[in-house]
Each structure stands twice: as structure tokens, then as C-alpha cells.
């Protein structure tokens, strides 16, 4: 289910983009059709031109907005793929990423000391407690 999630996110971004473009096209056509039907009853050429212009704006800006809004999801998919490639590269060299090493996390936890006054965990370099401010 979660295999190739980067590719799936990028595909989803493309699908959302095309749905937005098709929706913009349908919206523009419906505005043009309703404008042409309304112009039959009103013989004003300026209203027909304004409706045609509004339909054109819906078409252009709808497509543009759909395309631009899909960038974030596509970029996130790229980032996931790149992160996965880096992890696979490290694992193929026999090195595990530090977030997967439990021994390193244990040694980091052991490098902390408790404050005798308030019990807060402090790093070994601290000479005063970060919580209560007393000397350790």
C-alpha cells in the first residue's frame, strides 16, 4: 500500500491538475452557452462580449490555478522519492541512517544527567539546570 508513495503522490498531483483543467473547460463552456441563450432575449452586444470575456477568464485562470496548485503535491512526491533514494543508497553501502540506529539513540540518552533538585533531564555539558536554573 505504501510502496512507491512518491510516485503515487506525483500521479495524484497530475490527476488533480487535469480534473481542474477539465472543470475549468466545462465551466467556461457553460458560461458561454448560458450567455448565448441569454443574448437571444437581450439584443445587447456588449453583454454578449462581457459574458464571452468572463468565460475566457474562467478558462485561462482556472487552468492556470489548477496547474500551479498541483505543484506543491508534485514537489512533495519528488521529495519523498529523493529521500527514499538517499536511504536506499546509504543502506546499499552498508550504512544505516542515524534515525534507524537504536544504539546511537541509547548513547544519546545516556549522555544526559538528571537535575538533583527538580529531576529534569539535562545534557552533560550543562552546568546549570535548564528547568530550575540551579547548579548541577
DSSP states along 60-119 = HHHHHHHHHHHHHHHHHHHHHHHHHHHHHHHHHTT---GGG-HHHHHHHHHTEEE-TTT-
Model confidence over 52-81: pLDDT tens digits? 889 999 999 999 999 999 999 999 999 999
Provide the pLDDT for residue 91: 76
Question: Average pLDDT in the 35-41 region?
Answer: 68
C-alpha cell at 113: 544527567
Model confidence over 99-129: pLDDT tens digits? 655 555 555 455 788 889 988 888 888 888 8
pLDDT of 90 above 60: yes
In this structure, are residues 21 and 63 in contact, taking their beta carbons and an 8 Å threshold? yes
Amino acid at each position: 500500500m505504501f510502496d512507491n508513495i512518491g510516485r503515487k503522490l506525483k500521479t495524484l498531483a497530475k490527476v488533480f491538475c487535469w480534473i481542474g483543467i477539465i472543470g475549468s473547460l466545462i465551466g467556461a463552456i457553460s458560461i458561454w452557452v448560458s450567455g448565448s441563450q441569454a443574448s437571444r432575449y437581450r439584443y445587447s452586444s456588449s453583454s454578449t462580449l462581457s459574458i464571452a470575456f468572463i468565460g475566457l477568464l474562467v478558462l485561462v485562470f482556472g487552468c492556470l490555478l489548477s496547474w500551479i496548485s498541483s505543484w506543491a503535491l508534485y514537489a512533495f512526491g519528488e521529495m519523498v522519492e529523493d529521500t527514499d533514494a538517499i536511504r536506499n543508497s546509504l543502506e546499499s553501502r552498508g550504512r544505516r541512517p542515524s534515525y534507524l540506529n537504536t544504539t546511537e539513540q541509547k548513547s544519546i540518552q545516556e549522555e544526559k544527567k538528571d537535575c538533583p533538585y527538580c529531576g529534569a533531564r539535562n545534557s552533560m555539558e550543562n552546568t546549570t539546570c535548564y528547568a530550575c536554573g540551579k547548579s548541577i
